[in-house]
Structure 1
Amino acid sequence: MKLSSSKGAKTLALFTLVAVVAACGLPRSGPNKREIFAGSVLNGGDAFVVTVNPRVTRATSVMPAYGFSDAFRNAGKVGPDTIVPGDVLTLTIFENVKDDPLLGNTGQRVSQLAELQVDGQGYIFVPYAGKIKAAGQSPDGLRQIITKKLDTQTPDPQITVNRLAGDGQTVSLAGAVGGQGVYPIERSTRTLSTMIAKAGGIAIEPAVAIVRVTRGNQTGKVWLQDLFENPALDIALRGGDQIVVERDQRAFTALGATGAQSLVPFESQTLSAIEAIAQVGGLSTQLADPTGVFVLRNEPAAVANAVLGRKDLKGDQRMVYVLDLTAPTGMFEARDFLVRDGDTLYVTEAPFTQWSKTISAITGTAGAANSLANVGSSSGS
């Protein structure tokens, strides 16, 4: 009878100790499933807790759309021979006279005017022909203009015009390219993709490369992969364009029972929940609860209304999307659900984890107490 009472007392003491230790608040990586659901609007909280299904996935599949405006896309290619301010020209003039040529010395029938730069207003100065508007002309068109002006002063002048790219017909490339610098627009580099190739290509992973083009007060940007896959995005360049190749700056935060807890950059244009989990090393096999995978975000009102089947929500809404990887279609839902910039991916700990921590704390405390008792006994003897 006494033995039975002793065992009952020990059992009661054990459960009491478990309760006390649990109440003290054992270390953990964050809230559990029950606490997250307690924050639901249905329970008086301020977040909508939604289980992910195909309808929710479709409503939330909103990704940033990059592209160029009509002003960029409708601009035709610059003619390789079109003269613009900043270009440098060389004129060679053949005069049909033996003595006393108009431009050269006596007996010199060929004269060359080298490195004539077209000024900001588009003009050049040619001796005996005066100030001539060169911008907008082709070399052949300018040749005809100069010939007409000199024809009355020297018999049957023969003129050639050679154009070299100058400051007005160049673009700048910066960022993650093979060779940053200023490049002339030439016959082989009149489009965005060919100019990037001229600069040595890109120096980062193509999947996360974004190309930004600034022209005057307008800016457009595209994914590098889209640029090569869609010819309509390969815009014609203009002198003065600024081209920057940069890495995608989007990222999500991984917390809880995952392989890594950190701010994680995107590694592709689109990122599913299952890919995000894999990117941080998967779920912790020692801690994670696969029924408690959450994605937290502030959702625009339009998307939130679509997800919840409502029309009355205004402004951004706090949304908690729930993924149960153990459900029959759980892995498929995680594969199809897209993670977005600024999302928080949180994985709860399994209930058994807290029990294990409690037992470890109890056994550790009991062991420490026994050690102290043994030390006390040794000192007393």
Structure 2
Amino acid sequence: MLRIPIILLITASLAACSSLPNAGPTAKTILSRQQNGGAQSRGVASPYSIFDVNAGTVAVLSRHRPTGFLGSFAAGGPPSSGTLGIGDMVSVSIFEASSGGLFGTSDATGSAGSKSVQLPPQQIDRGGRINVPYAGSVVAAGRTPAQVGQAIVSALSSKAIEPQVLVTLTQNAANLVTVSGEVGQGGRFPLAVKGTRVLDAIALAGGPQAAAHDLFVRLTRGSRTGVESLTSLVSNPRENIYLRADDQLFIYREPRTFTVLGATGKNDTIDFTSDRVTLAEAIGKSGGLNDSRSDASGVFVFRYEDAAAFRELRGGATSGGYRSGSVPVVYRLDMKNPGSFLWSQRFLMRNKDVLYISNAPSTDLAKFLQMIGGGVGIVSAGANLSTIGR
């Protein structure tokens, strides 16, 4: 009499097998959804492309790291040294070879007096000019103090006695950069004659006020903007570019994270504790693979990848219509291959990556057998109670 309930229970369990609870898709499901890196299959476009984590993939990604200041702005050299600009305050001193000239003076007895005059400091106007007696309006903006002095000498050469002119910058208002955000003391700072780099300006503002791996620097120059992590600026001197007048630096804190899901020691959103976190470190931070659940060949990293990197990973193909921007990509690590432990030490995690470890196929079978065992136990208990009742 017990056979019929048991058979019915097994039949029901088999029917429910496809709806067993799961933390996510199996490796087979993930792999089946991609077709040739984005091509269409049965009329449905694949949502992502899959690439194995190996020596070739790591080499390509190392050449396509996120663009920083060097990619957004020309590296260049220091700006033209000492040029004046609109708003600068300058002082003009004029010397003549002998007294009795335009700017010389003599005492009451007629003896030789001063042979020079210092004009009151004046601001370079919106037209980029200053006014000098007998010389008129002189262009100052875009010139060095020496060039402005020579222009004044030329204007006075037929009026004064062998004039010599000294122009001095007394207040810098044009060649400034703005630094704000997570720094000791934000403000506007003058550019040095020898040139001021990004890290120089941050130091002038009192230095960073948070852990370097959590800080990013946004540089705005005109209508263009670039972002770079502070640690990259320190570790890669080429990114530490020279600043230009009116550049704006904003230092902000944005802790970088990656999310771990699936058959791991823990599912969590984990902070970067340094500028570089490898895939091997990410797996370790998540507690490693769960021995009783995980599929060692089904370790995946979900990411929106740069289109240029995607094209190189695809061998130069532009399948899927991706020419610029971000492309949905999945990287697969097969930890059954001993070489994967080496490649995972070179594969760098990025902000907002999702690390997913799929369940092993045997996990569903184990759940199914547990359901059968539980059902049989219930039926057996019921049979025993029924026997006792007799």
What is the TM-score of this pair, normalised by structure 1?
Answer: 0.69
Change (3 A) 1:219 1:20: closer
- How do 1:163-178 and structure 2 match up within 5 A? 163-178=169-184
Match for 1:216: what amino acid? G
Q: 1:64 aligns with which of 39, 63, 66?
A: 66
Shift in CA distance, 366/314, structure 1 to aligned 2, threshold 3 Å? same
Match of 2:24 in 1: 30
- In structure 2, the partner of 1:196 is 202
Q: Does the CA-based 8 Å contact 1:258-1:347 persist in structure 2?
A: yes
What amino acid is aligned across from residue 370 of structure 2 in structure 1?
I
Aligned partners of 2:153 and 2:164 also within 8 Å: yes
Aligned with residue 359 of structure 1, among 354, 370, 388? 370
Deviations 1:229-275 (A, max 9, x none): 55554433332122233457876543223455456666666553223
Report the count of equivalent residues: 362
Question: In 1, are the aligned partners of 2:92 and 2:119 still within 8 Å (CA)?
Answer: yes
Shift of the 196–96 alpha-carbon distance from structure 1 to 2, 3 Å rule, reads same
**In 2: Cα distance, 1:126 partner to 1:182 partner:** 30
Equivalent residue for 1:327, pick from 329, 332, 337: 337
**Structure-2 change in CA distance of 1:351 and 1:14 (3 Å):** farther
In structure 1, C-alpha distance between the alignment counterparts of 2:106 and 2:372, rounded to whole Å: 111
Paired AA for residue 332 in structure 1: L
Amino acid at match of 1:174: S
> Identical aligned pairs, as a percentage?
31
- Among residues 208, 214, 219, which one is paired with 2:220 in the alignment? 214
Letter in 2 for 1:32: T
User: Relative to 1, partners in 2 of residues 1:147 and 1:54: Cα closer, same or farther, differing over 3 Å?
Assistant: closer
Match of 1:103 in 2: none
Give the Cα–Cα distance (whole angstroms) in 2 for the partners of residues 210 and 122 of structure 1.
Answer: 36
1:186 equivalenced with 2:192 (yes/no)? yes
Q: Could you tell me how far apart the structure 2 residues matched to 1:63 and 1:245 are?
A: 21
- Structure 1 counterpart of 2:105: 97
| SS of residue matched to 2:196 | coil
Structure 1 residue 333 displacement after superposition: 3.2
| Deviations 1:113-161, CA, capped at 9 Å, x for gaps | 4441111222112345432222244334444554666687777878654
CA distance in 1: counterparts of 2:343 and 2:374, whole angstroms:
41
**Residue of structure 1 equivalent to 2:124:** 118
In structure 1, C-alpha distance between the alignment counterparts of 2:175 and 2:211, rounded to whole Å: 30
Which residue identity lines up with residue 263 of structure 2 in the other structure?
Answer: A
Match of residue 73 from structure 1:
75
Looking at structure 1, the residues matched to 318 and 198 of structure 2 have their Cα atoms a distance apart, in angstroms, of 45
1:104: which partner in 2? none
CA distance in 2, matches of 1:315, 1:23: 39
Residue of structure 1 equivalent to 2:99: none
- Measured on the aligned residues, the alpha-carbon RMSD in Å equals 5.0
Q: Which moved more, 1:17-26 or 1:193-202?
A: 17-26
Contact 1:21 1:362 in 2 (8 A): no
Q: Output the amino acid matched with 1:329.
A: G
Question: Gaps (5+ residues) in structure 1?
Answer: 101-106, 375-379
Distance 1:151 1:319 in 2: 72
Name the aligned partner's letter for residue 330 of structure 1. Answer: S
Structure 2 residue 33 is matched with structure 1 residue 39: yes
Alpha-carbon displacement from aligned partner over 1:29-69 (angstroms, at most 9, x marks no partner):
11223433443549978365554433344455532233436
1:294 paired residue number: 300
User: In structure 2, what is the Cα distance between the partners aligned to 1:32 and 1:114?
Assistant: 80
Aligned partners of 1:54 and 1:334: how far apart in 2?
10
Give the Cα separation in 2 of the matches to 1:17 and 1:297: 41
Q: Which amino acid aligns with 2:55?
A: P
Q: Give 1:345 shift.
A: 2.0
The change in CA–CA distance for 1:301 and 1:24 in structure 2 (over 3 A counts) is closer
Taking structure 1 as reference, are residues 18 and 303 closer, same or farther at Cα in structure 2, changes over 3 Å only?
farther
| Cα displacement (A) at 1:170 | 0.8
State how far apart, in whole Å, the 2-side matches of 1:160 and 1:202 are: 40
Structure 2 segments unaligned to the other structure (5+ residues)? 96-102
Does residue 141 of structure 2 align to residue 135 of structure 1? yes
Asked if structure 1 preserves the Cα contact closer than 8 Å seen for 2:6 and 2:376, the reply is no
The residue that corresponds to 1:344 in the other structure is 354
